[in-house]
Amino acid sequence: MMNTLQTSPPDTRRQIGLLAGAGRFPIVFAEQAQQQGYSVCCLGIFGMASDELMDICDTFHWIPLARIGRAIKLFKREEVKRIVMAGKIEKTVLFSPFRIFKLLPDFRTLHMWYRYAREDRKDDTLLLAVIKEFERDDLFFESALDYCPELLVKHGFLTKRRPSHSQWEDIKMGWDIAKQMGQLDIGQSIVVNDKAVIAVEAIEGTDRAIQRAGQLCKRGGFTVVKVAKPQQDRRFDVPTVGIKTLQTMHEAGGRVLAIESNQTIMIDQQEVADLADKLGIAIVSLNEEELSLQLAG
């Protein structure tokens, strides 16, 4: 009688790569993807990604920010074909002194930089350059929202407190300016108080823009408006808010958070709404048409 070699059944789960930056978004994505039967191979950007990902993901590797070549090799070694970006990428390091020595970019990063990002250093330019470099090795980025669309906030009031008439006017003003900022690929958030622009988000990110608004508007009571870019590419940089956004607003004196419905990711939605009620912050999710109707009413 011929003996047969007993082997473990093959892993039939599908592979998905995760290029993880800071925040809870990568964690939530990894958990959602696994629930859908995906095996998650995560590359966490060193100094940004959460240590929690090491325990959550099926495979995990730390990767320096400027080592695109190593990231490509690791994904290919794990037989990953599809990748998502999730989490904040801190770009201020690109403007620090002696950046070349701090980042120590590999050849593929230098190729990406000089081939695809010579025209400017805007967010979309840099992130699309990364995508193009990966595509040279048949590695393709997808939107994380294809896997967890429920993270997008539906329209409506998320809190018991609602904006006053003057705050609605600030929302409208901030909305129009933020959309123009997005068209120019400057930032997604703006802080307004009494129809005056207090702070505009640029490379520093939303939280630091809110903190700066608190320093400039010490009486508080300001409104934060965060919208998607008119040309938003959902593979990266989708507007995201969460617990930390509210904590920063509370510390700085913000009272209203207006976000674009069906275009903004909210992590831990119920927890965010409960905290906002506790802190007395109004959160409203709307689109441009609804904003016009609200002001008309």
270 shares its domain with 156: yes
pLDDT value of residue 123: 87
Angle between helices 123-135 and 68-77 (to 10 degrees): 40
pLDDT value of residue 2: 38
- 186 touches 200 (CB < 8 A): yes
Residue 97 lies in a domain: yes
On the 0-12 / 13-18 / 19+ scale of CB atoms within 10 A, 3 is: exposed
Q: What is the domain count for the chain?
A: 2
The C-alpha torsion from 152 through 211 and 20 to 95, rounded to 10°, is 130
- 266 touches 232 (CB < 8 A): no
Residue labelled with tokens 């009272």: 255
Question: What's the per-residue H, E or C state across 103-149?
Answer: HCCCHHHHHHHHHHCCCCCCHHHHHHHHHHHHHCCCCEEECHHHCCH
pTM for the model stands at 0.88
The C-alpha torsion from 255 through 261 and 266 to 272, rounded to 10°, is 40
pLDDT value of residue 101: 58
CATH number at residue 239: 3.40.140.80
pLDDT value of residue 92: 74
pLDDT value of residue 286: 94
pLDDT value of residue 272: 97
156 shares its domain with 292: yes
Domain end position, chosen among 121, 146, 171 = 146
- State the pairing for strand pair 59-63/38-45: parallel
pLDDT value of residue 39: 97
pLDDT value of residue 8: 37
The number of helix segments (H) and strand segments (E) in the chain equals 11, 13
Query: pLDDT 10s per residue in the chain (297 long)?
Result: 333 333 334 444 699 999 999 999 999 999 999 999 999 999 999 999 999 999 999 999 999 999 999 999 999 999 999 999 999 988 777 666 656 656 789 999 999 999 998 888 888 999 999 999 999 999 999 999 999 999 999 999 999 999 999 999 999 999 999 999 999 999 999 999 999 999 999 989 999 999 999 999 999 999 999 999 998 999 998 999 999 999 999 999 999 999 999 999 999 999 999 999 999 999 999 998 877 666 655
21 shares its domain with 123: yes
- Three-class secondary structure of residue 268 per DSSP: coil
Domain end position, chosen among 109, 127, 146 = 146
229 shares its domain with 283: yes
Number of neighbouring beta carbons within 10 Å of residue 54? 14
The DSSP call for residue 22 is B
157 shares its domain with 103: no
As a whole number of angstroms, the distance between CA 288 and CA 178 comes to 12
pLDDT value of residue 99: 66
Residue at 215: amino acid letter: Q
- 137 touches 76 (CB < 8 A): yes
Domain extent for 138: 15-146
274 shares its domain with 192: yes
CA quadruple 179, 145, 203, 224: dihedral sign: positive
Task: State how far the alpha carbon of 201 is from the alpha carbons of 21, 25, 185, 251, 282, in Å.
Answer: 19, 20, 11, 18, 20
Helices (H), 136-194: 165-183
pLDDT value of residue 77: 96
122 shares its domain with 170: no
- 252 touches 213 (CB < 8 A): yes
Residue 1 lies in a domain: no
CATH number at residue 124: 3.40.50.20
